[in-house]
Chain A
Amino acid sequence: AQSVTQLDSHVSVSEGTPVLLRCNYSSSYSPSLFWYVQHPNKGLQLLLKYTSAATLVKGINGFEAEFKKSETSFHLTKPSAHMSDAAEYFCVVSDSSNTGNQFYFGTGTSLTVIP
């Protein structure tokens, strides 16, 4: 069975400091992993994805994530937070055993950026 655990429901950082949003996954097969961001009153936007290529994945807006199979983790990082990064972030797992490209979402991490 596939599942995702986002370890923090809320993260607060100061502008210009690093961001770390944690995600652990469970998957019976080779997983594909995604991070999405949702700004208030908006849909979800893809930040980055891992699909069994390079384990360090670079995404949009300076975000990146590292796939660590031994730790079953896919944490999202950014070296320097910007005010515009304040949003809800979702970690998602899917795998090649699925039909219909089913995604399993985490409960989300709300990121606050303090000026």
Chain B
Amino acid sequence: QKEVEQNSGPLSVPEGAIASLNCTYSDRGSQSFFWYRQYSGKSPELIMFIYSNGDKEDGRFTAQLNKASQYVSLLIRDSQPSDSATYLCAVIRSSGSARQLTFGSGTQLTVLP
């Protein structure tokens, strides 16, 4: 079982729709959860982070965390073609002194005009 799992996609949504990206993690003690956006050929850009169960909203983005189900999601409302990118889910696990990010393989999102 991978430590962080994401559907690789590709996920296609029409412009203006809601894009829903999902991520599950295996370490029940994971503490912090992050979503990064990565355009082709570029580096990851932090777009959301969430530490507590529930929802966190920032503009068109909502992160949802359910620690009991070991599940974190990202909703993108009013999707735009500029949102087309790979979205990486990352968690910080509970073990070790380093707080390294453990990433999923990413979900490729395409927003169709």
A and B interact = no
B residues lining the A interface (CB < 8 Å): none
A residues lining the B interface (CB < 8 Å): none
